[in-house]
Structures are given as structure tokens and as C-alpha cells.
Amino acid sequence: MKMLLGYSLCLLIALSCLSGLVESGTLHLDSCSVNVHTHELRKYYSTIRSNAIDGDNEIGVKLLDKKLIKSLQNGQTCCFLRLVMRFYVERVFSNYASSQPQQQRCSSALANAFVSIRRDIHKCVSLLFDTLHNLVN
């Protein structure tokens, strides 16, 4: 489980930045808005956090910093967040294993929530591109 959810610090930063952008359960990213239940995400994360950190050999690795996320230019937030969530779904959650069924369920719930958020962001961005494309033509 090397570095598996040692990326958990990165996840915590992403979740805390999400909650800064969330208003009444709606995440506002550039021109897109998606529904996000940050309370549930934090609950699932807190359930797996200690196990993830205990199993991490590379706790000093830091992928994200709040300053980095806050310094994103307009129009970059959607893509950046989609890439971070893709990384977690494809690389982190898919390799996470716990002997505790509750932690495994929470990990799956987080992964599913990330997939859902990514899908909603993708739909929104696609609609924006379609609208822009129609305006140009």
C-alpha cells in the first residue's frame, strides 16, 4: 500500500478546497456548477484516513498545495479538478485495499462520488463547448 493514500493529504487539500467553492451543496467551478455533498466526502475520508496514513511509506510526498489550487487561472479549475479526480479513481482508489469492510466501503463511496463529480463536470464543459461551437458557426 506504498504511497496509496499517502496521497490522502492531497485528497484532504482537494476536499478542503472543494468546500471553499461549495455553496449550499453546489460546487461552482468557472462557468460550471455541480452538486457535491462535501459532508459525506469528509465523513468517508475521515473513516479511511488513519489506515491510509499508517500504510504509507512516503508520507513526505506532497502533490498539491492550497496555494496551487487557489492560483489557478479562470477556466483551469474544471480541468484541473477533473484530472485530480481521475488520478484518484484510476491510481489511488483502484489500488486501495483494507482488511476492514467499513473502510473498503468508504473508499468505494469516495471513488464513486469522484466519478460522479467528474461526469457532471464533463457534461457541463461539453455543453459549454457545444454552445461556443454553435455561436461560432
Mean pLDDT value across the chain = 74
- Give the domain CATH number at 14: 1.20.1250.10
Question: Quick check: is 3 in a domain?
Answer: no
**Per-residue pLDDT tens digits for 73-102:** 777 777 788 888 888 888 888 877 788 899
The boundaries of the domain holding residue 48 are 8-136
Residue 107 lies in a domain: yes
How many domains in the chain? 1
Residue 70 maps to a domain: yes
For residue range 48-68, what is the model confidence (pLDDT) as tens digits? 877 776 666 665 555 566 677
92 vs 47: CA distance, rounded Å = 16
Rg of the Cα atoms in the chain: 16
Residue 1 domain flag = no
Instruction: Give the Cα separation of 44 and 104 in Å (integer).
Output: 10
Task: Give the integer Cα–Cα distance in Å for 94 and 88.
Answer: 8
68 assigned to some structural domain: yes
| Distances 14 to 17, 29, 77, 106 between C-alpha atoms, Å | 5, 13, 12, 17
Residue 72's nearest CA partner among 126, 127, 17 is 17
Is 81 part of a structural domain of the chain?
yes
| Interval 101-120: pLDDT, tens | 998 898 899 889 889 988 88
Say whether pTM exceeds 0.75.
Answer: no
How high is the pLDDT of residue 21?
56
